[in-house]
């Protein structure tokens, strides 16, 4: 059942409400429920991998932030030069401007041009759309999870305002123990859909007296899906107010891992974070299990919002219909969980699964408004 408390206009009350949410998130972590981190950020579009070989991609990514002169680089990498000259977004005359003997342009300059960004890189607006799409998937699954939307500001200065200078990620936590919902499988499939190399995941269940958690960096790539690349055994969540600092440290552990990978082509997806700010906290929907309890809870929430203490029969019937629909939605979500787990198992076995099939499994179906409901709601 959705928590109907509306945002308060008073800044102090808003602050107290957000603080209360963080306390509840911290309680979820302390209770031993799993949690993880996922992002929708990706520096290069799919066409980048189509136009260039794996080796060419690695070379381009390596020089993306360097001061290597474009003229020297393209002269030494004739294959890349030819492909850029034949690209519709550029032309030979445009590329040759960067290869004259007098040109002082670096590869960072060249890869920051509008043409290169338009064809190969995600702009800030592209990234914002992907982030909203990822958020919509999480919102549709709030019978089983809640999340913190966090903004990580990179330590590196980004002078080109067309490129993102920050990363929005989601700290996702499981709402309650479930026989059908597997947070690890769910986040891994989301990572596949959004072209992410990995997720951070903590099975949790047990933490030591120092509030230390063992967090895994888990591969979402087709080759080695679900493999644990690294384990961070000293991640601490010592209190609600420390959540931003804990997320900053955890993100930087992932960044450090990728920066040490020789010849890897995915390091740019994980930049070092200067600080993390929490933008929003979205708590799970509440499903108590007992139909009568859900009715009472909905009435109590309505009274908190200023509704009268006594409701007429039409209002009660309206609340009952809402509760029935939400419980039916929970049933649909449980059935969806089984499909997600099956696809995840197939990927773990090395089977090929299309993004279309993954997307269809992840899209939450809504309860038809004209569908009759069973009397048995357990």
- Answer whether residue 68 shows pLDDT above 70: yes
Full domain range(s) for residue 95: 46-120
Q: How confident is the model at residue 163 (pLDDT cuts 50, 70, 90)?
A: low
Please report the pLDDT score of residue 362 as a whole number.
95
Q: Which of 158-162, 208-212, 318-322, 348-352 has the lowest mean pLDDT?
A: 158-162
More confident of the two residues 318 and 128: 128
Please report the pLDDT score of residue 265 as a whole number.
44
21 lies in the same domain as 56: no
Q: How many domains does the chain have?
A: 3
Neighbours of 46 (CB within 10 A): 10
244 lies in the same domain as 315: no
342 lies in the same domain as 246: no
In whole numbers, what is the pLDDT of the chain averaged over residues? 79
Please report the pLDDT score of residue 346 as a whole number.
97
Please report the pLDDT score of residue 309 as a whole number.
57
Please report the pLDDT score of residue 11 as a whole number.
47
At 174, list the tokens.
């499981």
Asked if residue 139 lies in contact with residue 282, where contact means CB atoms within 8 angstroms, the answer is: yes
- Answer whether residue 142 shows pLDDT above 70: yes
More confident of the two residues 12 and 313: 313
pLDDT digits 0-9 by tens, 102-129: 999 999 889 888 888 889 888 778 888 9
28 lies in the same domain as 61: no
Please report the pLDDT score of residue 213 as a whole number.
84
Chosen domain end from 93, 120, 147: 120
Mean pLDDT of 146-168: 74
Please report the pLDDT score of residue 377 as a whole number.
30
Percent pLDDT > 70 in the chain is 73
Percent pLDDT > 90 in the chain is 33
207 lies in the same domain as 257: yes
Q: Is residue 368 part of a domain?
A: no
Q: Is residue 6 part of a domain?
A: no
Q: Is residue 197 part of a domain?
A: yes
pLDDT digits 0-9 by tens, 262-317: 544 443 456 778 888 888 888 887 655 554 555 455 555 555 555 555 556 676 66
Q: How far apart are CA 197 and CA 219, in angstroms?
A: 6
220 lies in the same domain as 343: no
- Answer whether residue 29 shows pLDDT above 80: yes
Mean pLDDT of 72-90: 90
Please report the pLDDT score of residue 275 as a whole number.
84
Please report the pLDDT score of residue 374 as a whole number.
35
Chosen domain end from 120, 154, 181: 120
300 lies in the same domain as 152: no
Chosen domain end from 282, 307, 328: 282
314 lies in the same domain as 189: no
Q: Which 3-state string (H, E, C) describes the chain?
A: CCCCCCCCCCHHHHHHHHHHHHHHHHHHHHCCCCEEEEECCCCECHHHHHHCCHHHHHHHHHHCCCCCEHHHHHHHCHHHHHHHHCCCCCCHHHHHCCCCCCCCCEHHHHCCCHHHHHHHECCHHHHHHHHHHHHHHHHCCCCCEEEEEEEEEECCCCCCCCCCCEEEEEEEEECCCCCCCCHHHHHHHHHHHCCCCEEEEECCCCCCCCCEEEEEEEECCCCCCCCEEEEEEEEECCCHHHHHHHHHHHHHHHHHHHHCCCCCCCHHHCCCEEEEEEEEEECCCCCCCCHHHHHHHHHHHHHHCCCCCCCCHHHHHHHHHHHHHHHHHHHHHHHHHHHHHHHHHHHHCCCCCCHHHHHHHHCCCCCCCCCCCCCCCC
Please report the pLDDT score of residue 103 as a whole number.
92
The whole model's pTM is what? 0.76
- Answer whether residue 8 shows pLDDT above 70: no
pLDDT digits 0-9 by tens, 175-223: 888 899 999 999 999 999 998 989 999 988 655 556 678 899 999 998 8
Q: Is residue 116 part of a domain?
A: yes
189 lies in the same domain as 239: yes
- Answer whether residue 251 shows pLDDT above 90: no
Q: Is residue 54 part of a domain?
A: yes
25 lies in the same domain as 131: yes
164 lies in the same domain as 257: yes
Please report the pLDDT score of residue 298 as a whole number.
56
Q: Is residue 15 part of a domain?
A: yes
Q: Is residue 153 part of a domain?
A: yes
- Most confident option among 32-36, 42-46, 208-212, 275-279: 32-36
Q: Is residue 184 part of a domain?
A: yes
Q: How far apart are CA 86 and CA 88, in angstroms?
A: 6
241 lies in the same domain as 300: no
């Amino acid at each position: 059942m959705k928590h109907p408390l509306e945002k308060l206009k008073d800044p102090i009350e808003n602050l107290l409400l957000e603080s209360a949410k963080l306390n509840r998130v911290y309680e979820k972590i302390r209770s031993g429920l799993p949690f993880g981190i996922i992002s929708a950020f990706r520096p290069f579009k799919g066409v980048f991998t189509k136009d260039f070989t794996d080796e060419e991609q690695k070379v381009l990514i390596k020089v993306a932030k360097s001061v290597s002169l474009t003229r020297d680089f393209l002269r030494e990498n004739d294959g890349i030069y030819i492909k850029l000259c034949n690209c519709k977004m550029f032309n030979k005359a445009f590329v040759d401007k960067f290869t004259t003997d007098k040109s002082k342009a670096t590869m960072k300059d060249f890869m920051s041009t509008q043409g290169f960004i338009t064809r190969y890189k995600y702009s800030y607006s592209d990234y914002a759309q992907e982030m909203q799409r990822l958020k919509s998937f999480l919102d549709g699954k709030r019978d089983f999870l809640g999340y913190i939307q966090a903004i990580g500001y990179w330590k590196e200065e980004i002078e080109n305002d067309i490129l993102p200078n920050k990363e929005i990620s989601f700290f996702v936590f499981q709402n309650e123990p479930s026989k059908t919902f597997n947070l690890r499988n769910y986040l891994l499939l989301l990572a596949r859909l959004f072209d992410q190399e990995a997720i951070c995941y903590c099975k949790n269940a047990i933490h030591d007296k120092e509030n230390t958690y063992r967090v895994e960096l888990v591969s979402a790539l087709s080759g080695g899906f679900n493999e644990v690349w690294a384990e961070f055994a000293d991640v601490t969540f010592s209190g609600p107010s420390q959540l931003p600092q804990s997320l900053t440290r955890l993100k930087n552990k992932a960044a450090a891992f990728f920066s040490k990978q020789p010849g890897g082509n995915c390091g740019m997806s994980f930049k070092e974070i200067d600080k993390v700010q929490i933008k929003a906290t979205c708590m799970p929907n509440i499903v108590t299990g007992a139909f009568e309890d859900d009715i009472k809870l909905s009435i109590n929430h309505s009274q908190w919002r200023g509704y009268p203490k006594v409701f007429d029969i039409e209002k009660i019937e309206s609340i009952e219909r809402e509760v029935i629909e939400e419980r039916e939605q929970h049933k649909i979500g449980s059935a969806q969980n089984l499909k997600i787990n099956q696809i995840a198992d197939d990927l773990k076995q090395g089977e090929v699964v299309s993004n279309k099939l993954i997307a269809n499994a992840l899209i939450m179906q809504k309860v038809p408004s004209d569908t009759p409901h069973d009397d048995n709601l357990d």
